[in-house]
Amino acid sequence: MLTKEEMKKLAAMHAIERIQANMIVGIGTGSTVYWFIEELARRVKEGLVCRCVPTSLATYKLATELGLSLMTLNEVSKIDLTVDGADEVDPALNLIKGGGGALLQEKMVAAASDKLIIIADSSKFVKALGVFPLPVEVIPYGWKQVQEHISFTNDIGAVLRLKDDQPYVTDHGHYILDCHFNQISDPVKLSISLHDIPGVVENGLFIKMANEAIIAAADGTVENIVAV
């Protein structure tokens, strides 16, 4: 049986086969995408030509260290293909993302992409979204008002994310509220309601954005789920 890291690597190895010469590739953030970036860099050293748009400072740093050619989102008109991970994936390929704190740039890069492929181990594939706390990115000014609004309106806990006992700060200087819905019955309705709250920058619901999910299981099998 494969370990979780081996499953992540297996999914990444399947996704790498989708990369063609001269593509502009969006590269996501997180432990699963790490394996994809590492393999992409190896193939670039062997002669593959591509340019990449990173979704976070952490991904930018890793990709730079590995010698990938990088561009900003402002420098491209579109992205051919983005490969990213997810905290949860449902059968309709709706996602919860943002556990790594990069949901804003991840969503912007995904929206600019012709195709979004999600890579994950089988523990991330769920019947319904919501067990993983939904990240909501908010501006620091008045974050408590946003927290209280989300908590009261939805009757849930919305917890300020901390790092070293201080508020976790995103690449763009924002805070994150991790919202414990347990089950999200209507992701579209919830996303709209969250965006209507002044002070919310973005939420971690990625609805009808993924075109395909590559899910690796502990027995070594890989399932390709394509959006309909």
The residues that are catalytic are 106
How far apart are the C-alpha atoms of 187 and 169, rounded to whole Å?
Answer: 25
What sign for the dihedral angle of Cα 35, 36, 38, 43?
Answer: positive
Q: Are 81 and 22 in contact (CB under 8 A)?
A: no
For tokens 């008002």, the residue is 145
- Which amino acid, residue 174? H
Q: Which run of H or of E encompasses 120? A: strand 116-121
Q: Are 33 and 214 in contact (CB under 8 A)?
A: no
Q: Which run of H or of E encompasses 145? A: helix 143-154
How far apart are the C-alpha atoms of 146 and 138, rounded to whole Å?
Answer: 8
